[in-house]
Each structure stands twice: as structure tokens, then as C-alpha cells.
Structure 1
Amino acid sequence: MKTVLKRSGLALLAFVATFLLIACSSQSSNTSSDSSSSTSKASQAAEVSIKGVTVPVNPKKVVTFDLGVADTIRALGFEDSIVGLPTKNLPDYLSGLSDRKSVGSMKEPDLEAIDALQPDLIIASGRTADYIEQFQKIAPTILFETDHADYWNSVKSNITTLASIYGEDAVVDAKKQLATLDSQIADIAAANKKSDKKALAMILNEGNMAINGPKSRFAFLYSTLGFHPTDAKIEESRHGQDISFEGVREINPDLIFVLNRTLAIGGDTSRDKSLLENELVKGTNAGQNNGIVNLTSDLWYLSGGGLESTQLMIDDVKDYAK
């Protein structure tokens, strides 16, 4: 009898020991897993590599010279992170950001003002690309560039990359908004595919006219929205190729998309007012058929490439795709 009880006691002790061993092992495993998960989350929340530059995730203070980036940040719900931008001559649609700290002009940054803000991130623009090295001494700096040969795909890539700085939910939101834009763009491009109208993009600048081709700042019109360019051979340059009234009449476009640079930068537009009233311009197919389209100049010249600006640019021209 004693032998039986002794054996039962030993078995019970073995069972308890085994149970405790398994429990400890499980707790240790869970602790290790939780620790690993926390470490992973901490790592994700700390920083991300953007175009080869390490930047903080969810930056609290951003200075941006790229206005398309500013409107995208706002569209994603993070406008409070924008602490500085060039506030002079902000496009009307960005007037809600005019209370931010001014950090210079679109071309000439105020480095002292930027430094005083102690930003977590600086986003340069094409106009301030020469200052990137100086920006980097203040904070991590990135530049989003667009490819005129593949405009819309490059813009979408820029937007989703920017969104990744604000986390996975921001990326999902950006992709949803891009899908809405994609749908509108597809409708306009389909309408233009059926059209035989030829379009000419023109910049007015202090009393002068210049025309621009498909691989210029107007790539969105041509390569994305599908407006057909005229047959004119145009030398691509920053502000376009100068043209006379006679030259416009000879090209004879069905649509003329007009960007008034003087108006966009707050200059004296008195010399521009009569340009489109010239009889030769009015005698074109565009002039005869209400095809002269005045674009929202500050939007098209100073901004673009953002979620908000793209929608507004679509709204500017969608009624002419038919």
C-alpha cells in the first residue's frame, strides 16, 4: 500500500513540475513575442527612408517649398505638421495655410527663418533645388521631382511616397484619393481620344506670348488628360517658345490653354490684357468657337502635383474634352 501511495505521489509531483515548466515556457515565449512586436512597432514608428534620405515618421514640424506637397499633406489630414512655407503669392486654394511661418520666397529661402523653426523635415522644390545642401544642415531634406515624359505615374509615386511618411493609414487614404482622380482622368482621356481638336498651351508673361509642347509643364494636359497637341514644332524651355500673333494664327489651334504667369506672381498684367483680344488670335478656330481657356494661373504655375491641385486642374479643363 505504501508503495502505491509513494508511486502516486511521485507521479503527481512529476505532473506538477511538467505543468509549471510548460507555463513558464509559454509565458517566456509570449514575453519574447510581445517584446519583439514592441521593438518592431518602435522601429516602424521611428524613421523611414525616402529617396535615400532617412526621415522621421509622422514629423511634427515640416517646412515645404513644394506647394503640391503642402496640399497633399493637407488632403491627408496632417496640415498641422506644416509649420513653414513660402507664403507670398500662395495660390488662392492654399490661402488657409497663409498663417504659417514665412520661410522666404519660392526661389530664395530664408535660411535663418527655417533654422529657427527647428523642423523635423524640409521638402525642397525644383525652384529651391540649389539650396538642398544648405537645407540638409538644418534637417533631413527631400525633393519630389516629376517626369514630364510620364507625368501622372511620377506624380502618383510621389504622393504615395509622401504618404508613407505619415504611416500605413495615410498610404491607404492616398491610394483611395488617387483612384478617384484616376477615374476622372480616364473619362477625360477617353473623350479626348474620340476628339479631333488640336490644343495649344500658351504662357502670357509681361506682354509676351510663349507656347509650350507636350513635354513641358503642360504634360498633364497632353500626356495625362489626352488633349491632342498641334503639329507645331515647339522648342521646349522653361517658359516656352516666344510666338507672334501671326504665328498663333498660322497654327490655328482649336483650343488655346492660357496660363498668365504675370498674374500668377502678382505682377502688372496691364500689358497682357490685350494679347488675347488681338484679331489674329480671335480669328483662330479657338477664338471663333469659345476655345480660349484661361487656366487658374497661380494653380498651374506655382503648384501642381498634389492631391488637391490635381483635382482643381482637372476641374479647369474637363469641360473642353469633347
Structure 2
Amino acid sequence: MKLQPLVGISSAIVLSLTLAACGGSTSGAEAPTEAVEIAHAMGTTEVACTPKRVVTLGQGETDSTLALGVTPVGVVSPWTDDWYSYLPKKVEEAEVVGTEIEPDLEAIAALEPDLILGSKLRHEALYGQLSQIAPTVFTETIGVAWKENVGTYAAALCREDQGKEIVEAYEARAAAIGEDLTAAGQGDTEVSIIRFMPDQVRIYLTGFPGSVIRDAGLPRPKSQTVADWETSEQLIEISEERIPEMDGDVIFEMVSADHYAQQGTQTVDEQIQRWTSTDLWKNLSAVKAGKVVEVDESVWNLGGGIGAANAMLEDLEKYFASAR
């Protein structure tokens, strides 16, 4: 069963408002400029409110900035050839400034940004240079911390209340879906999340997709249940003999056309063919029941922000409604 791609705070930061005078107190002088002081993964940064020329250095940053009503002037390229279909079309107005792994500092500087958003995980080594270009705010990591990250972005964009509102709305929606599934007798469905790649096969435990499944109140198979959510690895790479760990009442298989391209000695299509032709795969209960569901990887994994989270909830609603 294939789901079509969707078109479509809590935060631990410390926030203090300060006023920076931009002129004298005589009549006709400019009004003071409000600024926010943001404590983040790399220290403390003062940002003048409200940033208008924002550069985002990651998928989650781009996703959530757009969801907060701000169109970045600069973004790093998506992981696929085209922009993710669930994102607002306004993302196409932004200039691409390199990749998430290798942002182009010269291109970023040319845009004269007044705020740069990134993550310590991806760009710690570039923080000093980026900070010389514009006020720069980093989250600690990506993936599992996406909701906390929305709070950081919202504060840096001087939209802290809006950030809280969109996360609270998402959480309420996820909770409502969980209640609906329980009422329909589907609340105990064990969800497995997998991804085939040309050179490896992954099971997602926590991370971004795991957190959305968790927020919807859906359980995971025992083999995919972690003891400590905060410290667990977000995903595991497995070998063929560990195929039984992929099983669940339903297996959501993340797919992306771009990943069918040749990488190394085989394509992902060949990888899938090899694994799914084994007896171990054929004997999975979800396979026997016809409950392996293809889902858009850009929603379930690559986007990593509040927009993708809501699109993933929509996928869950569609699947479970069709399974009744």
C-alpha cells in the first residue's frame, strides 16, 4: 500500500528582552530597537527583532522557519532533487547556499542576512565564521529534538509565542489521533519504521519519525523499543540475519525516488530486491498480512520540522482510516 506524498514548545532556551537605543531621546529620534538574547548550543547571541533576512542551514530549520511564517532568503539544498512536496511553495523563492553538509559561506555572506539558523551537530566548526557574517543561533542536534528546536528558532525569529502555539497545536492533533485510534481498536498497533539504502538498511528507533509515532501514542515492536528515550541511538543499521527485528503489526517503509540512483555497486532497488526475496523477509508477520506501507521519506525522515511532523500525522490518519 502506497501513501501519496502530502502537498501541502516547549523549549529550554533562556530568553531575555533588552532594548538597544538607536538614537537620542529628543522628538523625531528613531524608536529603540528591540532585541532578544538567545542562549543556545554555542553560547548566547543577541538578535535584533524582527529578523527579515534569514538563512537556514538545515532541513528542519527551513521547514520550521516557513511554518513560523518567515520565508528564508537563503537555504541549503534538499536531500532530493526537488523540494519536498509538503513544503510551502515559497521555499522556491530562497537562494540555495550550498548543501547541509557543505554550506557556501561566500554565498551566505552575499545575502547580507540578519540571522543564521543551524545546528551544532552539522556546523559546529563553522560557527565562528558564520557569526562574523550575522547573528547565528544553533540548536544542539537534529532529529529527536525537533520540537525543542522549533522553540529555539521561534525565539530567534522573535516569534516565541507563535512557536509555542504551533507545537501545542501539533501535540493536540497527535493526541487526538491517538485517542481516535484507541476508540477504533487500533491503538495497540505496533509500528515498525525502516529504510532501504544502496549501502545499508536501517531501522528507526527514536529520532524524528519515532517521536511522531510516540506522540500519537502508538507502540513499537519489542525489538524497536528503547529503554531510555533521551540517550538511545536514533537508528540502527542491520544485516540480513536481523531482518526479524524489522517486523511489526505494520511496517512503514520510507522511500524516495532519488535514492534509486546508483551508489557504489548497487542501487537501492537491487538492495530491496535482495532483502525482500529472503525467507526471513517473507516470513515477517506484516509481510504475510500485506501491511508493508510505502511512505514518503521527505516527510518521514528528511524534513525534520513541524511541517513534516504534521504531514506525517496526516499519513497516519490516512493509513489507519483505510485499514478499518
TM-score (norm 2): 0.70
Match of 1:270 in 2: 269
Amino acid at match of 1:164: A
Match of 2:49 in 1: 57
Contact residue 207 and residue 271 of structure 1 kept, 8 A: no
Label 1:49 to 1:303 Cα distance change in 2 as closer, same or farther (>3 A): same
Q: Could you tell me how far 1:228 is from its partner in structure 2?
A: 1.4
Q: Could you tell me how far 1:242 is from its partner in structure 2?
A: 1.2
* 2:86 pairs with 1:98: no
Q: Could you tell me how far 1:142 is from its partner in structure 2?
A: 1.0
Match of 1:77 in 2: 69
Higher helix share: 1
Amino acid at match of 1:312: A
Amino acid at match of 1:162: Y
Q: Could you tell me how far 1:158 is from its partner in structure 2?
A: 3.2
Please give the alpha-carbon distance, in whole angstroms, between the structure 2 residues aligned to 1:58 and 1:138. 17
Match of 2:103 in 1: 109
**RMSD between aligned alpha carbons?**
3.5
Listed as ranges, the matches of 1:129-208 within 5 Å are 129-145=124-140, 151=144, 155-167=146-158, 170-190=159-179, 195-206=187-198, 208=200
Label 1:286 to 1:76 Cα distance change in 2 as closer, same or farther (>3 A): same
Q: Could you tell me how far 1:113 is from its partner in structure 2?
A: 0.9
Please give the alpha-carbon distance, in whole angstroms, between the structure 1 residues aligned to 2:57 and 2:133. 15
Query: RCO (CA 8 Å, sep 6+): is it higher in 1 or 2?
Result: 2
Amino acid at match of 1:56: A
Q: Could you tell me how far 1:220 is from its partner in structure 2?
A: 1.4
Q: Paired residues, what number?
A: 274
Please give the alpha-carbon distance, in whole angstroms, between the structure 1 residues aligned to 2:172 and 2:70. 25
Listed as ranges, the matches of 1:212-231 within 5 Å are 212-213=204-205, 215-231=206-222
Please give the alpha-carbon distance, in whole angstroms, between the structure 2 residues aligned to 1:219 and 1:243. 21
Match of 2:60 in 1: 68
Label 1:201 to 1:70 Cα distance change in 2 as closer, same or farther (>3 A): same
* 2:243 pairs with 1:241: no
Match of 2:13 in 1: none
Contact residue 210 and residue 242 of structure 1 kept, 8 A: yes
Name which one, 1 or 2, has greater alpha-carbon Rg: 1
Label 1:264 to 1:96 Cα distance change in 2 as closer, same or farther (>3 A): farther
Match of 1:26 in 2: none
Please give the alpha-carbon distance, in whole angstroms, between the structure 2 residues aligned to 1:314 and 1:253. 19
Label 1:302 to 1:98 Cα distance change in 2 as closer, same or farther (>3 A): same
Contact residue 146 and residue 304 of structure 2 kept, 8 A: no
Please give the alpha-carbon distance, in whole angstroms, between the structure 1 residues aligned to 2:124 and 2:84. 21
Structure 1 unaligned runs (5+)? 1-34
Match of 2:290 in 1: 290
Match of 2:302 in 1: 302
The superposition leaves residues 35-92 of structure 1 with CA deviations (integer Å, 9 ceiling, x where unpaired) of 79x99x955x43101222111211121110132232333233221xx11111353423
Match of 2:21 in 1: none
Identity %: 25
Contact residue 49 and residue 55 of structure 1 kept, 8 A: yes
Contact residue 221 and residue 227 of structure 1 kept, 8 A: no
Q: Secondary structure at the match of 1:228?
A: coil
Please give the alpha-carbon distance, in whole angstroms, between the structure 2 residues aligned to 1:75 and 1:250. 35
TM-score (norm 1): 0.71
Label 1:239 to 1:253 Cα distance change in 2 as closer, same or farther (>3 A): closer
Listed as ranges, the matches of 1:7-46 within 5 Å are 42-43=31-32, 45-46=33-34
Structure 2 unaligned runs (5+)? 1-24, 227-231
Contact residue 205 and residue 262 of structure 1 kept, 8 A: no
Contact residue 73 and residue 93 of structure 2 kept, 8 A: no
Q: Secondary structure at the match of 2:290?
A: coil
Label 1:297 to 1:275 Cα distance change in 2 as closer, same or farther (>3 A): farther
The superposition leaves residues 252-300 of structure 1 with CA deviations (integer Å, 9 ceiling, x where unpaired) of 4212122247846976543245257435434322123332122211233
Contact residue 195 and residue 254 of structure 2 kept, 8 A: yes
